[in-house]
Amino acid sequence: MTEADIPSIQTTVDAIAEGHLTSRQWVEHCLARIEETDEINAWSFIDRERALARADHLDRLRQDGSAFGPLHGVPVGLKDIIEVADMPHGCGSELMGNTSEHNASLVDALESAGAIVLGKTETTEFATMHPAPTKNPHGLEYSPGGSSAGSAAAVAAGAVPLAIGSQTNGSVIRPASFCGVFAMKPSAGLIPRTGVLEQSATLDQIGVFAATLEDLALGVDCINVHDSRDSQSINVPRPQCLSGYYAEVPIEPCLAAFRLPFSDRQTKACTEGFREVTEALDTHIEILDAPPVFDQLIEAQRRIHHREAFIAYDALGIVGREPLSNELKDMLKSGQAVSDDEYQEALEVKKSLEGFFHNFFEDFDAILSPSAAGEAPLLSSGHTGDPVFCTIWTLAGLPCLNLPIMEGENGLPIGVQLIGRAKDDARLVRTANWLMTTLFTEGES
């Protein structure tokens, strides 16, 4: 099934508004699909009764002629680091699991738009590196990526049209690439993190998974709200991604692709597929050498990420406790060893990077990059894949999109990543829609 074959959220919400479908029917369909795809292990908790009760409530509101939200009746999955009142807060660890008393800010935003939370999707241990139990819907022996594994897999399996995840390094874009779905990590500060497990106060960012680019834009807009409790939250007029999706480009965009210092990590299929994409774009893309500062970025991200993770998890009281995976123990040990000077130096590198990109996007509409080094690794490898193709853009807080348009050696998906200017997310979505049209519909009879 292609993107064009999938009924959009807007189409389905309109069907509910017109009385051709009920919210309850949509929820029941998704719950049945979850049961049919149970072997994927995408969900850590499902509250069937709560979801159906809310669906019935929304159906009564429709019958009463009450206000109708843009996500009226839309079933949603939430990564299990996002608090939902009266649901367990598992965070992928036996050390967590207490029932939450309050909703995360983004959950309030979803529900005020009419969404129905079905439950929690699986995540890696404390949203770090130790794999979740989730399998890839395109091949059960393969990884769905991490740490937003369950959210990506749930959308890929057709269990929900929309799911929420988070990214501190590559935890939205990489699983979207492996699972073959659209995903967006908006600009840092666009979606509030209040009520979401903190791993890195500087780097944590929320992301959205969807079956189509249009649904993705709508989902981002509905949780694109200010929250003064989040120090990173942007308190200015906000970009509207759905408007960007519908807008025509004023002039044909100019894209850039860097010769990245870690491009040797790409698989042959990824390299060849990405070359075909850039060749198809012809005069619309310019291939550039990476600036020298790029050599420092991976280490700068690691220092900020690991030091802040140690601080956050120490405050939770989990440092030194059992059971923790060896991967997380090593990460916390690494973070504890980062000195104040090293940490401040890394923050200065980040600041310099932000300045570089502020100027860079005066000449380019977006950057094109692979979303991952290749297709999903086998589950037997014991890891969730290499996040390095997301590291730089996350460090800079730039908006990123996964477009599921390439294929690997084993027939599994590989995504192309489109990166835009900070706080210019609507323009990025507009460029992405132009890109998909240019690659797949121009020249067709």
Per-residue pLDDT of 136-183, as tens digits, reads 999 999 999 999 999 999 999 999 999 999 999 999 999 999 999 999
Question: Which amino acid would we find at residue 209?
Answer: F
Averaged pLDDT for residues 17-32? 97
Task: Give per-residue pLDDT as tens, 259-313.
Answer: 999 999 999 999 999 999 999 999 999 999 999 889 899 999 999 999 999 999 9
* pLDDT > 50? residue 445: no
Q: Is the pTM of this model over 0.75?
A: yes
Mapped to the 3 state alphabet, what secondary structure does the chain carry?
A: CCHHHCCCHHHHHHHHHCCCCCHHHHHHHHHHHHHHCHHHCCEEEECHHHHHHHHHHHHHHHHHCCCCCCCCCCEEEEECCECCCCCECCCCCCCCCCECCCCCHHHHHHHHCCCEEEEEECCCHHHCCCCCCCCECCECCECCCCCCHHHHHHHHCCCCCEEEEEECCCCCHHHHHHHCCEEEECCCCCCCCCCECCCCCCCCEEEEEECCHHHHHHHHHHCCCCCCCCCCCCCCCCCCHHHHHHCCCCCCCCEEEEECCCHHHCCHHHHHHHHHHHHHHHHHEEEEECCCCHHHHHHHHHHHHHHHHHHHHHHHCCCCCCCCCHHHHHHHHHHHCCCHHHHHHHHHHHHHHHHHHHHHCCCCCEEEEECCCCCCCEHHHCCCCCCHHHHHHHHHCCCEEEEEEEECCCCCEEEEEEECCCCCHHHHHHHHHHHHHHHHCCCCC
Q: What is the reported pLDDT for 403?
A: 98
The mean pLDDT of the chain is 96
pLDDT at 3 over 90: no
Whether the pLDDT of residue 2 is over 60: the answer is no
Averaged over 415-443, what is the pLDDT? 94
| pLDDT for 4 | 54
pLDDT tens column, 40-72: 999 999 999 999 999 999 999 999 999 899 999
- Cβ atoms of residues 293 and 260 within 8 Å: no
Amino acid in position 381: S
314-348 pLDDT, tens digit per residue, is 999 999 999 999 999 999 999 999 999 999 999 99
pLDDT tens digits along 65-123: 998 999 999 999 999 999 999 999 999 999 999 999 999 999 999 999 999 999 999 99
